[in-house]
Amino acid sequence: MFEVYRKELTWGGKLLTFETGKIARQADGAVMVTYGGTTVLCTAVGASSAKPGIDFFPLTVNYQEKTFAAGRIPGGFFKREGRPSEKETLVSRLIDRPIRPLFHKNYKNETQVIATVLSHDMENDPDIVAIIGASAALTISGLPFMGPIGACRVGWSGSEYILNPTVEQMKEATLDLVVAGTKEGVLMVESEASELSEEVMLGAVDYGHKEIENVIDAIIELAEVAAKEPRPLPEEPVEKDQYLKAIKPYKKKFEKAYKETDKSKRSKILNEIRNEIINELGELVNVTLASTLIKDLEADIVRGNILKTKERIDGRDTKTVRPIVAEVGTLPRAHGSALFTRGETQALVVATLGTGQDEQIIDSLEGEYRSKFMLHYNFPPYSVGEAGRVGSPGRREIGHGKLAWRAVNPLLPKGEDFPYTVRIVSEVTESNGSSSMATVCGTSLALMDAGVPIKKPVAGIAMGLIKEKKEFSVLSDILGDEDHLGDMDFKVAGTKDGITSLQMDIKITSITKEIMEIALDQAKDGRIHILNEMGKAISNSREVLAESAPKITTMKIKLEKIRDVIGPGGKMIREICESTGAKVDIEDDGTIKIAASDTESAEAAQKRINDIVAEAELGVIYSGKVVKTVDFGAFVNFLGTKDGLVHISELQDARTEKTTDICKEGDIVKVKVIGFDDRGKVKLSMKRVNQETGEDIESKKDE
């Protein structure tokens, strides 16, 4: 019934298996990939024809994690997987970015790739398996995909690179880098690093590229026996030559328009020229084809001018960064805020400090964990002068936010040194060139303004590439048009001492090591320049937090005392919070964090907790309150919530007939701890203490 094809190889010390022909046979391509004990089913389906009027490639990639893969049941009321998690969105982008440029330029059929995690061994992250599986499914599908690609994760131990480190190994690694590409070159890089040098980062990319060659060979061997017949490539439209003749005379107008340095004015002029061409072609014009050919002409003009003259759209050379203005303290009530402007790109970034109760709880296949640092990136339509829908963050917003998060995360203090939860919100208020890198710069400024003790300031820069055959130019701080018409989007973030994040996307089939090396060196110069400009606003974290920020006090108690502080059903901790106005978080190791808006509230809560956990010391004198009298003595509350018994024989030196002859409920008395009974109850004495002065009578006698 099944015609199953398998391909196996040992890769990074583990077995990598490709299998097709048994599951999802109606998809154009379906491959189940297993690495170690992690299995992902990847499918690819392309529509039989393109919809009329489509002028873009409608590719959709969906990566989805099923909780049964880890032997878990989803949380929530419905107990089933819902909207994609942040990780699922990020991995979907990770798959999309290297495969998209490898489809034939004329292919416009709706295409969908789905990667479903079926099993997770808690050692090997499914994301790499999903990228490889998507490549294999497309390669055998018959769709016009000019692959295959391979992908791997690279770690750095401090002395050597690690291929596909396990989840446990990644906790100690100083580099998390994902690289994907063809045999010819690298297509995509995504990374987080702990201030590593350009040499180490470039070496990691080169190392990863060499390691994926065996995977690419295996996919090719699988395709040789299992691939479907390739679909015919889309034919060139018959009107193409006619349209080219009509468009060609407008070349000089476009050249003049691209000399306008102001983005808004340039966009207006360009749109007028485009509309003029469409109108000239007549009512029956194929607008999709005409728009594509017009864009090609514009690309030739911009790219050719840069390669010939090294002068860009806004008049800069290839290395100059646009003018920068950095400001802090922009919003008076925010805990920390900054406005970062670079040319026509601007980000308003705000830092908010919270307590442990504000930590983000993340439910992943690996289990539940908490995050103390959140970065949320928003890209409203007005930032590019447009009117558009405002709603939940899309894949782009999530991806850009995570890139900025990776850039800043290695510089944040450890929890024990700074017990705050930190949330960053970046509102992109203008955009013409990398707003994600503006977010990195603004985040660094806002954190320092808030008094978060980051190790060093961090900045980011976006690099571009114009490449024609062997001739190329690497561009620093690219504009939006240079991004759209160029061949590479290469983002580098870091401190003056090293790289913390690197992201690269290629729109051509690949780039060489030489180009990457030039881009990294040029990016370093740009990054140092941006850091110097940021330093004019603020260069170190403020020593004090904003008045409106919560004040957190940390203390430690014995594990057996946690129950006493919480109280039955949480009664005690609720009462402390209500009476003092402070927030109290208790961790499993006995660490208590007290957050309050003022010092008085924090001290009051700390005193209440100290009273609860304090232990009576033998021979020490305390002041207490009589809470109950009985025939055999008096109970005195002498240490927070602790009571002790003053036996009737310890009330006074003389014989006592009735307890109430000496003390009554509500009396304030001085007591001395004289012992503990078998159950740990405290024995107290009043007669051994001078009730007026509080002196120890016994010690006076000894003297």
Backbone φ, ψ for residue 367 (5° rounding): 120, 180
With 90 as the cut, is the pLDDT of residue 244 above it?
no
What span, in angstroms and rounded, lies between the C-alpha atoms of 501 and 499?
6
pLDDT at 103: 94
pLDDT at 679: 77
Per-residue pLDDT reduced to its tens digit, 563-583? 888 888 888 889 888 888 888
Per-residue pLDDT reduced to its tens digit, 104-143? 988 999 999 999 999 999 999 999 999 999 999 999 999 9
What amino acid is encoded at 328 in this protein? V
With 70 as the cut, is the pLDDT of residue 33 above it?
yes
What span, in angstroms and rounded, lies between the C-alpha atoms of 483 and 215?
31
Per-residue pLDDT reduced to its tens digit, 583-632? 888 888 888 888 887 778 888 888 888 888 877 888 888 888 999 999 99
Which two structure tokens, joined as six digits, stand for 626? 């009589």
Which two structure tokens, joined as six digits, stand for 346? 């601007």
Give 417's pLDDT tier (boundaries 50, 70, 90).
confident
Which two structure tokens, joined as six digits, stand for 95? 């798959």
pLDDT at 220: 97
Give the residue-averaged pLDDT of 323-334: 95
With 60 as the cut, is the pLDDT of residue 90 above it?
yes
What span, in angstroms and rounded, lies between the C-alpha atoms of 223 and 206?
26
pLDDT at 700: 60
pLDDT at 702: 55
Per-residue pLDDT reduced to its tens digit, 333-345? 999 999 999 999 9
% of the chain residues with pLDDT over 70 = 99
With 60 as the cut, is the pLDDT of residue 285 above it?
yes
Per-residue pLDDT reduced to its tens digit, 141-195? 999 999 899 999 999 988 999 999 998 899 888 999 999 999 988 999 999 999 9
**24 vs 286: which has the higher pLDDT:** 24
Give the residue-averaged pLDDT of 469-488: 87
> What value does the mean pLDDT of the chain take?
91
What span, in angstroms and rounded, lies between the C-alpha atoms of 605 and 611?
10
Distances (CA, A) of 509 to 187, 218, 512: 7, 20, 10
What amino acid is encoded at 143 in this protein? L
Note the pTM of the prediction, 2 decimals.
0.85
With 60 as the cut, is the pLDDT of residue 405 above it?
yes
DSSP 620: -
pLDDT at 283: 73
- The total of other beta-carbon atoms located within 10 Å of residue 235's CB is 7
What span, in angstroms and rounded, lies between the C-alpha atoms of 661 and 673?
22
pLDDT at 222: 97
